[in-house]
Amino acid sequence: MCAKLLILESPGKVKKVQEFLGSGWKVAASVGHVRDLPVKEMGVAAPDFKPKYIPTDRGKDILSRLAGLVKNAESVYLATDPDREGEAIAWHLQDALKLKDAKRVTYAEITEKAIKAALDVPRSIDMALVAAQEGRRVLDRFCGYMVSGPLSNAAGEKLSAGRVQSPAVRLVVEREREIQDFRSTTHYGAELTFENVDNITDGWKAVWQVKPWIEDGQEYLLDKALAEKAAALRSLEVIDCKESESRSAPPAPFTTSSLQQAASNALKFTPKQTMQLAQKLYEGGHITYMRTDSPNLSQEAVDAIRAFCEGQGWPLVEKPRSWKSKEGAQEAHEAIRPTHIEVEEAGETADEKALYRLIRLRSLASQLEDAVYAVRVLQLAADLDGKQALFEAKGRTLLSQGWKVLTAEDAAIEDSGDSAELENPVPAMKSGTSPTALSGTVLTKKTKPAARFTEASLIRELEKRGIGRPSTYAAILDTIMSRGYVKTEKRLLVPTPLGVMVVDGLRGNFSFVEYEFTRTMEQALDDIAAGKADYRSVISEAHARLEQELQAFAQATGKVCEKCGKPMVHRVKKPGKDGKGGYDFWGCTGWPECKETR
């Protein structure tokens, strides 16, 4: 026996962690998953739904190498990533390497202090987390293996169904149809421009409040002639002047989802690219773990951030901030932040450095004061066709920068829409004052359809609907685009004919493409992880429902086994090297129990 063995997930972390632990330790990597379900068969069946795992091609060699290290180790510590996937990998290592007394350790940042603290409190593998990951994998396998064949047969095209990918494609398809069906309405308004009282800046503007003038049953003002009369008004009277303050709080520190959205909007990174860069920063010890749905920071991190901000003379918020997590958040880890807040630049490439800056600024801003604005609203009135026409002039001036000393806008927001108010220098005027407009403009507007999704806004929609989880968003988008179901045009997501075909084939036939069902299933997986639900009952219920739907689909499409009633699928046996022996046939999906063919 020799050194203690610590097995990580990523080979990129090995050297750094080895330096932290020294000669009494041997650090090795599993390089992610070492086992998976078989490629050429389902690998899981009723009634117990126990998955059949085999080593992956890469996993065979890795398990062989690790087995040699295990033989010579006095104890084995499994330090795979601190999430469900990492917990499952740790269990696979324990099972495949037949480890009797493996110690599970987790940490959210690759620093010497965090790793040594984790090694002091090892635990056993959390089998509830393993069951939740296994449940996700098996449900995905059901949808892929059981549905893709019948769907392809019915469509006459090779298509694949996915438990979370198909609802994501559906969102894009439905948005596109909404855009195509949209009919634009031209409507009108009016804006008056006044000379600024001190003549220092450009004139200020007041907008006609059209709501009292809209006809019953209409949403918008359609009378252009009336708008022209409103724009021609020149003599008005101030009937009210309100002064108030508005406050803008800093955004919360990054979760996986908000980081992907902000990096898409501010840096034009794809979600996949963002996660690859964040992985590099994490492995380099620069940021905390990048898969999290909690927007809150640890007390230690808050203290360090506040101390740094105070040293810079920045305006600290009096009481440390915390945020409410979204419904269903697992909150296993704190938000994404720098491991050392005082480090201004980190990462090896320009892209890594840009992402680090985004993460650091968001973390720092989270503990600074609100930005404070002085808001002035003037209400003006004039006679229009014997009826009082109201105009409103609203201006906003920054009084105290607060968190905006660091960044003018929140990178996760595509367009705040406040710039017009900031540029409108509305003067203070007493009621009864009669300003004269210098000019007026008819505002011609057209209603617009909902915008196509960007990658960032699709992630936001998936998160809002409870489809997928932080670790899956980037993979969902990568899958639907690599399979050719969705493409990008000027950074906007557009469904392809194949994507439309998948959605139309699934809708009304399979419940997993329904948004509410998908959300409920994600909650069931969370319940398994929390020990509130049983793996076998959740999986068997989902399997039974899918089998019923498949039989109904087979009956509706005429591709049903006459012997057992299960769907038939078209199979092709490729010819051998001599070009002989190739044929195609219809086979029952109940094989091997039912061997019916046509």
**Each residue's pLDDT tens digit, 353-407:** 999 999 999 999 999 999 999 999 999 999 999 999 999 999 999 999 999 998 7
Kindly state the average pLDDT of the residues 131-156: 92
pLDDT band at 578 (very low <50, low <70, confident <90, very high): low
Q: Is the pLDDT of residue 415 over 50?
A: no
208-235 burial: b if 16+ Cβ within 10 Å, else e: bbbeebeeeeeeebebeebbebbbebee
Q: Is the pLDDT of residue 117 over 90?
A: yes
Q: What are phi and psi of 86, to 5 degrees?
A: -65, -40
Rg (CA), the chain: 30
Do 416 and 409 form a contact (C-beta atoms < 8 A)? yes
| Kind of pairing between the strands at 237-248 and 371-384 | antiparallel
Q: Is the pLDDT of residue 328 over 80?
A: no
Give the DSSP letter string of 273-307.
Answer: HHHHHHHHHHHTTSB--S-----PPPHHHHHHHHH
pLDDT band at 195 (very low <50, low <70, confident <90, very high): confident
pLDDT band at 478 (very low <50, low <70, confident <90, very high): very high
Give the DSSP letter string of 172-212.
Answer: HHHHHHHHHH----EEEEEEEEE--TTSSSPPEEEEE--GG
pLDDT band at 416 (very low <50, low <70, confident <90, very high): very low
Angle at 396 between CA 392 and CA 402, to 5 degrees: 155
Identity at 583, one-letter amino acid code: Y
Q: Is the pTM of this model over 0.75?
A: yes
Choice among 107, 289, 373, 535 that is catalytic: 289
Q: How far apart are CA 360 and CA 287, in angstroms?
A: 9
Q: Within 10 A of 349 (CB to CB), how many other CB atoms are there?
A: 10
Q: How far apart are CA 162 and CA 146, in angstroms?
A: 10
289 is catalytic: yes
pLDDT band at 417 (very low <50, low <70, confident <90, very high): very low
Identity at 438, one-letter amino acid code: L
Percent of the chain with pLDDT over 70: 93
Tokens 């320009």 sit on residue: 350
